[in-house]
Amino acid sequence: MRFDNFIAVKWAGFIYIIAIVVAALSYLGTIVAGITTGIAAGSASSYLSGGPSFSVLPLILSIIFGWIIPALWVIGVRLVLELIVSNIKTAEHTKRIADSVSR
């Protein structure tokens, strides 16, 4: 078993797309959690004081701030993938130079 060919370069784009999809699903999950929290907070509020049965504040906060963590995660994945690909490209170019010098 030889590791002359690297497959990470070919898979980097696919992994990045998967990371974007996971981040988008995470953001949608944050919004759903905001809706659920709004329902729970509103139910508690209406039970105790007779107020509205839905609190909109958790939903607004999840929409405004919920994208930050997924965006940072996508940026981190992109940086790691670029680091891996650049290391592989450096190894390939170094091997090519070593092969041309040894001839």
Residue 70 domain-assigned (yes or no) = yes
Instruction: Report the first-to-last Cα separation within the chain, whole angstroms.
Output: 25
C-beta neighbour count of 34 within 10 angstroms:
22
Residue 13 domain-assigned (yes or no) = yes
What residues make up the domain containing 36?
8-102
Residue 1 domain-assigned (yes or no) = no
Residue 51 domain-assigned (yes or no) = yes
pLDDT in tens, 77-97: 999 999 999 999 998 899 889
Q: What are the Cα distances from residue 34, in Å, to 45, 58, 91?
A: 16, 5, 47
CA 83, CA 89: separation in Å to the nearest integer?
Answer: 10
Residue 43 domain-assigned (yes or no) = yes
Residue 3 domain-assigned (yes or no) = no
Q: What is the pLDDT of residue 1?
A: 65
- Does 4 score more than 80 pLDDT? no
Structural domain tally of the chain? 1
Residue 2 domain-assigned (yes or no) = no
pLDDT in tens, 5-63: 778 788 999 999 999 999 999 999 999 999 999 999 888 877 777 777 888 999 999 99
Residue 64 domain-assigned (yes or no) = yes
Q: Is the pTM of this model over 0.95?
A: no
Give the torsion through C-alpha atoms of 45, 48, 51, 52, to 10 deg: 40
CA 70, CA 83: separation in Å to the nearest integer?
Answer: 20
